[in-house]
Amino acid sequence: MLHSIGVIGLGVMGRNIALNMASRQEDVAVYNYTRDLTDDLMAHNEGLPVHPYYEVADFVQSLARPRKIFVMVTAGSAIDSVIESLIPHLETGDIIMDGGNSHFHDTERRFDQLQQHGIEYIGVGVSGGEVGARTGPAIMPGGTKEAYEQVAPILTKIAAQVNGDPCCVYIGPKGAGHFVKMVHNGIEYADMQLIAEAYSFLRVRLGLDVEEIADVFASWNEGELKSYLIEITADILRKKDDETGLPLIDVILDQAGQKGTGKWTSMQSIDNGIASSIITEALFARYLSAVKEERVAAATVLGGPEARETLDKDVWIERIRQALYMGKIAAYAQGFTQYRTSSELYDWNLRLEEIALIFRGGCIIRADFLNVISEAFAKDESLANLMLAPYFADKVQDYQTALRQVVAESSLSGLAAPCLSTSLTYYDSYRTANSNANILQAQRDYFGAHTYARTDREGTFHTEWQ
Ligand code: 6PG
């Protein structure tokens, strides 16, 4: 019997995707470049219909046509190698899906390359980590609608489900799926950094111990901040180190890693003139964290402010909660603005309402508040900025004082809060009807005759300033 789908790449994500498919009545062929991972999967295949192949040709021939091949290898040249190895064995109409975090420009290039061979290519954003891959991730497929229709029964089945709806919808042509996943990760960077800054304030400024902070996060997870990232942060803070008995968080080195998707989100926003400052600031916070030795040396040279008075814990815990929520609104506003603007630029027709809906389950940024985001775009598809939706406009009106207090107190205490303060700056900049950019225009015209526009009539003007 021919198998209904094949999975190539049996690292953590690939093997879990294969098991997920097999656990939902798919008959799955698997192949890995090296034999060890295939053997390991077969030793732990939970009795599911997973069939190992050790040659690409045999693997491809074992699949029902049109062949559906899900590739889950490290983004980059490994994908190109897999594609090269598959092309000689595939036929017109066969479908390759790339489930990794590929750059959307690479996906577009591969799409064009495979079109020449009559092979369909779907760039599939997959979010949810190891557990999500096995039990139900959020899935963001981009390619031709026709190819998507062929794989939709499988992808929607293996995706997370929220209220009976799969967290998988057709996103758009070519690289659109990987683009949506990329910006999801940018939002993820900002969300994580905002949480880290709330933690710092609670720990450093309010002097709460780790267990108390875990309780604060757990209680926040009962309310409007309810989300996967808040939930796991409470869990993380309760974990003890086996060796020392200390909270594990206290023995984890404060140098953040990254694999590039947050950087790509920032670079894309810069290239396309989109102010994604909170996302970019989260990236820079990781970069600064990485220069640990320099920071340790600087701490002995560069002084901070005098110690300040003790703060009322209950009052400030609520202020931090509100500040965090408002920071989140601003960060998601930037991410969704990037979706809207890029969709217009690339003519993708991204449906923001649906993107928010599929983010409700499976993915790393899943959160209750995505329901409200989806509703906001459902009510007004062309909403210029999430903060302008009536629900969020009211919310930021209510919470801005808390954000200002937390940012001001952080600043006066010498506590870095890059994403919280950038959220506030973004909010204040965005609501400024008359900005200081007239000064910039005048300066540009003064030193470079770059010209300026006037407020009172159409045209391009230059002044002889001296
Ligand atoms: C997800 C994650 C996933 C991965 C990131 C981590 O949605 O499942 O975003 O894709 O965890 O690549 O990214 P960094 O290593 O850059 O933090």
**pLDDT tens for residues 384-427?**
999 999 999 999 999 999 999 999 999 999 999 999 999 999 99
CB-CB contact of 98 with 79 (8 Å): yes
Q: Is 235 within the bounds of a domain?
A: yes
Q: Is 438 within the bounds of a domain?
A: no
Q: Is 366 within the bounds of a domain?
A: yes
Q: Is the pLDDT of residue 1 over 90?
A: no
State which ligand 1 atom lies nearest to the alpha carbon of 129.
Answer: 8
Q: Are residues 302 and 383 in the same domain?
A: yes
Last residue within a domain, chosen from 144, 174, 204: 174
Q: Are residues 94 and 226 in the same domain?
A: no
Token pair listed for 313: 């814990």
Helix, strand or coil, per DSSP, at residue 355: helix
Q: Residue 145 is part of a domain; what is its CATH number?
A: 3.40.50.720
pTM of the model: 0.97
Give dist(CA 99, CA 16) in Å, integer: 12
Closest CA to 52 of 23, 10, 108, 12: 10
DSSP line for 64-127: PSSPEEEE-S-SSHHHHHHHHHHGGG--TT-EEEE-S---HHHHHHHHHHHHTTT-EEEEEEEE
Token look-up 């609520």 returns 318
Count of structural domains within the chain: 2
Hey, which of 13, 183, 185, 187 would you mutate to test ligand 1's pocket, going by the most ligand atoms within 8 Å of its Cβ?
185
Please work out whether the CB of residue 129 comes within 6 Å of at least one atom of ligand 1. Answer: yes
Q: Is 81 within the bounds of a domain?
A: yes
Q: Burial letters for 339-355: b for 16+ Cβ neighbours within 10 Å, e otherwise?
A: bbbbbeebebebbbbeb
Q: Are residues 347 and 198 in the same domain?
A: yes
Q: Quote the ligand 1 centre to 130 CA distance (angstroms).
A: 11
Band of residue 466 on the pLDDT scale cut at 50, 70, 90? very high
Band of residue 224 on the pLDDT scale cut at 50, 70, 90? very high
Q: Are residues 65 and 194 in the same domain?
A: no
Q: Are residues 230 and 136 in the same domain?
A: no
Give dist(CA 159, CA 128) in Å, integer: 10
Please work out whether the CB of residue 258 comes within 6 Å of at least one atom of ligand 1. Answer: yes
Q: Are residues 354 and 371 in the same domain?
A: yes
Please work out whether the CB of residue 364 comes within 6 Å of at least one atom of ligand 1. Answer: yes
CB-CB contact of 166 with 156 (8 Å): yes
Q: Is 344 within the bounds of a domain?
A: yes
Q: Is 442 within the bounds of a domain?
A: no
Binding site for substrate: what residues are annotated? 101, 127-129, 184-185, 189, 259, 286, 444, 450
Q: Residue 262 is part of a domain; what is its CATH number?
A: 1.10.1040.10
Q: Quote the ligand 1 centre to 126 CA distance (angstroms).
A: 10
Q: Which pLDDT score, from 0 to 100, does residue 17 have?
A: 98
- 351-382 pLDDT, tens digit per residue, is 999 999 999 999 999 999 999 999 999 999 98
Catalytic residues: 181, 188
Hey, which of 179, 182, 259, 365 would you mutate to test ligand 1's pocket, going by the most ligand atoms within 8 Å of its Cβ?
259
Q: Are residues 169 and 282 in the same domain?
A: no
Please work out whether the CB of residue 16 comes within 6 Å of at least one atom of ligand 1. Answer: no
Q: Is 455 within the bounds of a domain?
A: no
Closest CA to 132 of 181, 179, 172: 181
Percent of the chain scoring above 70 in pLDDT: 100
Please work out whether the CB of residue 138 comes within 6 Å of at least one atom of ligand 1. Answer: no
Q: Quote the ligand 1 centre to 183 CA distance (angstroms).
A: 11
Q: Are residues 169 and 192 in the same domain?
A: no
Q: Is 201 within the bounds of a domain?
A: yes
Please work out whether the CB of residue 101 comes within 6 Å of at least one atom of ligand 1. Answer: yes
Range of the domain at 323: 181-430
Q: Are residues 225 and 151 in the same domain?
A: no
Q: Are residues 236 and 385 in the same domain?
A: yes
Q: Which pLDDT score, from 0 to 100, does residue 140 have?
A: 98
Please work out whether the CB of residue 127 comes within 6 Å of at least one atom of ligand 1. Answer: yes
Last residue within a domain, chosen from 174, 191, 213: 174
Q: Which pLDDT score, from 0 to 100, does residue 177 have?
A: 98
**CA-nearest residue, atom 1 of ligand 1:** 127
Binding site: what residues are annotated? 9-14, 32-34, 73-75, 101, 127-129, 184-185, 189, 259, 286, 444, 450
- 302-349 pLDDT, tens digit per residue, is 999 999 999 999 999 999 999 999 999 999 999 999 999 999 999 999
Last residue within a domain, chosen from 174, 198, 217: 174
Q: Are residues 200 and 161 in the same domain?
A: no
Q: Are residues 202 and 59 in the same domain?
A: no
